[in-house]
């Protein structure tokens, strides 16, 4: 795989008109699916599919920057993924630990802030340490944000938000009548960021798999048959073009 530099990414998307880019999504979330199938189709162990998947992250980050995407959210490991074979789960966390430590300096040079979202406390200690170091190193960056959703589940997030609101009411910090969509949203893991404009699901599966259940209420959805290890910067560009030609009415008719 040829890795992109910022310069090559810019030249590959120069044909997009400025007025089109103005309509591109600013927050894109991706359900990165199909790694295991990608490996199986090539007679490889499933873990090799996850390794190939990690190599696609850097080109997609660079493409997202050129396309004007300010927040890129990647669904890496769900609360249900613990049901997978133990060896596969361990290899995923080894890969995440290595990626975090190896790529932090380069992400810092690009001005990218990184957040790991989910129940991080249940991850292996080595992975937790790598995550903490990465977030601390990149906390000052403001150019764009990269979110890794790890041990994340949408239902669990909603339950957690409800518990926090209940505690606030119990402790007299909030009146029951003050609970609304905005106060609830602030209690979510994503409370400090806008909802995704576009959610992309690779591998052709027609479901959201417990991802951002509250936040996707009015997100545009795009499903592609392409497996994540084959998902290219050009695929991301086409997804943004498709999004730019849609009309988001948010329940209105105009």
Q: Take residue 40 and report the two structure tokens written for it.
A: 């199986």
180 is catalytic: no
Catalytic residue among 45, 81, 108, 168: 81
Helix/strand number for the chain, H first, E second: 10, 6
Classify residue 189 by burial, with Cβ atoms within 10 Å: 0-12, 13-18, 19+. Answer: buried
Phi and psi at 196, nearest 5°, equal -65, 140
81 is catalytic: yes
Instruction: Report whether 70 contacts 103 (CB < 8 A).
Output: no
- Give the chain's end-to-end CA distance (angstroms, integer): 45
Range list of β-strands (E), 170-252:
198-201, 220-223
Catalytic residues: 33, 81
């Amino acid at each position: 795989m040829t890795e992109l530099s910022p310069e090559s990414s810019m030249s590959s998307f120069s044909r997009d008109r400025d007025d089109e880019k103005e309509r591109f999504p600013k927050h894109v979330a991706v359900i990165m699916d199909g790694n295991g199938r990608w490996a199986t189709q090539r007679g490889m162990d499933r873990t090799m599919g996850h390794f190939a998947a990690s190599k696609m992250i850097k080109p997609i980050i660079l493409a997202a920057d050129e396309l004007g995407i300010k927040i890129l959210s990647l669904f890496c490991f769900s609360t249900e993924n613990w049901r997978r074979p133990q060896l596969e789960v361990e290899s995923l966390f080894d890969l995440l630990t290595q990626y975090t430590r190896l790529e932090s300096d380069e992400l810092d040079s690009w001005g990218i802030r990184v957040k790991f979202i989910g129940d991080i406390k249940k991850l292996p200690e080595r992975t937790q340490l790598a995550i903490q170091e990465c977030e601390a190193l990149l906390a000052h960056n403001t150019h764009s944000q990269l979110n890794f959703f790890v041990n994340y589940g949408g239902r669990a997030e909603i339950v957690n938000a409800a518990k926090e609101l209940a505690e606030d009411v119990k402790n007299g910090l909030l009146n029951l009548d003050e609970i609304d969509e905005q106060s609830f949203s602030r209690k979510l893991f994503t409370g400090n960021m806008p909802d995704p404009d576009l959610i992309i699901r690779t591998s052709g599966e027609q479901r959201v798999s417990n991802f951002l259940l509250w936040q996707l209420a009015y997100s545009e959805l795009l499903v592609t048959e392409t497996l994540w290890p084959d998902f290219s910067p050009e695929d991301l560009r086409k997804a943004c073009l498709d999004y730019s030609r849609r009309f988001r009415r948010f329940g209105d008719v105009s």
